[in-house]
Structure 1
């Protein structure tokens, strides 16, 4: 048999990816590669077409996709992805509009989105309630024994209370009153929320700094007007940032795109989505949080190392002592704000999103449990000193350190 040969013109062009955002929850690279053989529909090729997309080393994950015109979504059907150091190689058995989804986020359907919203609001309300109670507990402890660490805990709890109250107020304001005439209220709530977030992060850093002084500079810890200087940093730095960002128009309504079938949106008084400075301020805030979590993680590891040294020096091997140390480490991890580090898992699995939401919405509850533990420890130490007055001096030294 003779086989007839037909010449077909293949068109290849680059198209801006903004034309493919409608109905799609994922974000493609800036360019989309269009490959078409005249008006023919080419599919189920025996030898796949290879398309190469360049990328930088910062883009760790990527998936080759094509545009399904009938469903207006990106799809991976018929495409395989191979990643090298600087390229994404797409092997597809058909011709269409092709692109690479870089660092695709975990999809959250409507049911999970609603469940996460309930967890966030209920957890935040509980945190505000327990943080308020914790303030009274710390005040009572501070009256019984004047200790710098307790004062720092009080400041952190106050900042955390402001954070959760600010979040709840900013979230519900857009539901209560959707009127552009009161946009200044939303701007004020966004400023307060950002200020309280920065205050919380700053006091978390100061908790780690104070822990450093206790562990490293045990015999040289005196700093003149120590608490006053900490307060100037803890409350002054967030205030300075808010004063700078306020006149720039950074704060206002922030639109969150809900990743559901209806492409719904949700709004919160946070940072103005339309302001070009918003992205820069957000990046700086996230970078500051990451540095604080990293620093406090090192401090927690130092605490664990010191505990092991003490156990080895005294030869303690009782399981109850190790349980107490474990509880102490868990409590300190919450005081140092390490649950914020779970944010990195939100880009990996749906379970990571749930863990981050639960632990960070219940920060106030964890602070409350820590305050109750300190109060119980203080009470037991007082009872011990009453039964054995000879230990009073030794215990006073231990408490002050």
Structure 2
């Protein structure tokens, strides 16, 4: 603060250089106690007296703020102070920050021995240079001590708090009863234990969150607040997986957030403001009068000029709507700000005789907002609160501005959402929600959001850039409709296989039986995929259940691909080796072990105890990017490649066989060409659908392809069950005959005579071909090429 003439002169020179013709607010007010002017940080005015004659005079009992008069003051008293109405507009506010005070280095004899405390800034903790040497607490400071700032502006040491080196969080929680008398000691010990964030386990984070809530329930002194803020800062540095596990098990990170909010609501303010900053979290709480509150309160974070991302090196400034209108928020180095609407007393149940507790909390990242997802928070997070009130459905919005912490590419910036953290969403797990919030676009490198309520705010970016934008809803509709159609088609296919199994088995022999079993298994796998998808793809409320859904989808997709590979082998044997090779009945059972077993091994290798919580994304119940790459896309690609090779061999052999048939039967060339083309088309579409060719489109989609590939993938993949029904039921001659038999029941038999001429002619040709190439079944009978 300008405690002397030199500091006062500096302010005057600053004003004359940048705002020569303006009167300036200089950060003085006597709002708390009439006539007792103090600085914005609550410290007293000091001995320097530069008031104008007769000032302060508090005209109409409305002048509670201090103003520095301009150089060319017409009254003949330049560069003096006077009081004025706080609602008057000024071009700029000058806030004089207090001097940084220190507790000097000191050596103290404690229970832990002779301890050296280094020179420490006022309002912060000092840790002894002597460290624990025991195994369990190795590297942890032996003692901590708080450097306290007194109301008279002096920094003094508090009593030291020592910690038994072997103690851990479980011991602390079991041996200490948190009361108003013990709260400070517990908070300080908790702060010491959590310093080594990399050593904290899931249970440690759970205990930490519980102790924080117990502490804030019984006491909320400023010194306790310093410890709580340090513990929260330590917790934000814990491993992501540990935080995720603690969130799933006990919502521990959310409890830490709520403990901070509870402290902000309850902190005992001897002056009108509490401000504390750490590297990753900062908190400010203030009591303001209703009149001051109605001016529209706000808070802004100015980054340090050295480019540091630490909140502790940034500057927090309170402002009003008037400052905002004067262009305060256009300052280039504002990183994040929140502005409450004016005249909130008209919509909130406020007591005009009681001050309003307004608090703000800033977080450097989203570590405590646990929700690993496809979207990422690329801004700091800021919250605004009014103690004891749920502020929502405001007629005028809260305005929040954010500067991205990292460079945002054009692709990432396509999908930007203004969001808030909803603690009650997802069955109490919490999630980012955009309800009541709108994006106002980007200007001067900052994103502006408006919301009709108060809570924790941030901006979400789609860092993986799906890039489909307006195509998302049509793609979703295609997926769901196609899935339902395929489910119906697969059920009909299974029913037809089951009902006709005896007739078909006796007519076709062992090879047909094997092929029927392969198709049944494929249908079961496809049906399981579709049902699991529809029932669970967006059920993210239960993380464990969502992971189970992702695992089931993973398993059945691989199983379906494996059965497609088995089908490929069956078609290869039928089309290429059918006339010289017999496929045993045990083939399907051996294939089943591989087809159902391999996917299980792939999942077990991915969802281990250490990687369980990294297996899925939380936006949908599907694989996260890393396991999707090596545990799904890689094996799917290999299977697809195998199927394509088989497909090519079959096509080649079928073409060659048509030429042989032409030579043996003497069919006219035009007829053979037509039959050959139609047959190839039928087989090509059948094999392509069964072999999962649609996953080619899937690869292009995942690689960031055009929306056209997404439409093709969604359409063909979800309708795969329908393709199975068409190619194995609708287009099969024996199935058509079986379906026609239902229509013939009860009708005149003459109307239901089946023309056998074509089939007899074809049988004769094939028997002639059989004489050249002996049959493959035990009894020498010919089996149909494709079941």
Q: Provide the TM-score with structure 2 as the length reference.
A: 0.34
How many residue pairs get aligned? The number is 294
| Alignment CA distance shift 1:332-1:207 (3 Å) | same
What displacement does 1:220 show? 2.3
Are 2:484 and 1:119 equivalent residues in the alignment? no
CA distance in 2, matches of 1:131, 1:367: 7
Are 2:620 and 1:268 equivalent residues in the alignment? yes
Q: Which residue of 1 aligns with 2:693?
A: 338
**What is the aligned counterpart of 1:221 among 582, 586, 594?**
582
Write the mapping of 1:372-391 to structure 2, written as runs, cut at 5 A.
372-373=729-730, 375-377=732-734, 384=756, 388=760, 391=763
SS of residue matched to 2:539: helix
Are 2:660 and 1:317 equivalent residues in the alignment? no
Q: Which residue of 2 aligns with 1:13?
A: none
Are 2:487 and 1:159 equivalent residues in the alignment? no
CA distance in 2, matches of 1:212, 1:388: 26
Q: Which has the higher contact order (CA 8 A, sep 6+)?
A: 1
SS of residue matched to 2:620: strand
Are 2:534 and 1:168 equivalent residues in the alignment? yes
Where structure 2 has 5 or more consecutive residues not aligned to the other structure, the ranges are 1-377, 379-404, 414-441, 448-463, 506-511, 663-667, 739-753, 771-780
- Which sits farther off after the overlay, 133-142 or 237-246? 237-246
| Contact in 1 for aligned 2:730/2:736 (Cα 8 Å) | no
What displacement does 1:159 show? 0.5
| Contact in 2 for aligned 1:214/1:221 (Cα 8 Å) | no
SS of residue matched to 2:531: helix
Q: Provide the TM-score with structure 1 as the length reference.
A: 0.63
What displacement does 1:116 show? 0.8
**What is the aligned counterpart of 1:328 among 683, 690, 710?**
683
Where structure 1 has 5 or more consecutive residues not aligned to the other structure, the ranges are 1-17, 28-67, 74-103, 257-266
| Alignment CA distance shift 1:297-1:251 (3 Å) | farther
CA distance in 1, matches of 2:412, 2:571: 43
Write the mapping of 1:78-93 to structure 2, written as runs, cut at 5 A.
none
| Contact in 2 for aligned 1:141/1:375 (Cα 8 Å) | no
Q: Over aligned residue pairs, what C-alpha RMSD do you find?
A: 3.6
What displacement does 1:129 show? 1.9
| Contact in 2 for aligned 1:138/1:371 (Cα 8 Å) | no
What displacement does 1:289 show? 0.6
**What is the aligned counterpart of 1:211 among 544, 557, 571?**
571
| Contact in 1 for aligned 2:574/2:785 (Cα 8 Å) | no
What displacement does 1:383 show? 6.7
CA distance in 2, matches of 1:230, 1:391: 32
- Tell me the alpha carbon deviations over residues 278-328 of structure 1, each in whole angstroms, 9 at most, x when there is no partner: 714642310111111111112222222122212323164336412232122
Write the mapping of 1:296-311 to structure 2, written as runs, cut at 5 A.
296-311=643-658
Are 2:635 and 1:288 equivalent residues in the alignment? yes
Report which of the two has the higher share of helix: 1
What displacement does 1:230 show? 1.0
| Alignment CA distance shift 1:342-1:72 (3 Å) | farther
Write the mapping of 1:358-397 to structure 2, written as runs, cut at 5 A.
358-373=715-730, 375-377=732-734, 384=756, 388=760, 391=763, 394=767, 396-397=781-782
- Which sits farther off after the overlay, 389-398 or 144-153? 389-398
- Tell me the alpha carbon deviations over residues 205-232 of structure 1, each in whole angstroms, 9 at most, x when there is no partner: 1112222323343312334621110111
| Contact in 2 for aligned 1:191/1:251 (Cα 8 Å) | no
Are 2:487 and 1:128 equivalent residues in the alignment? yes
What displacement does 1:196 show? 0.9
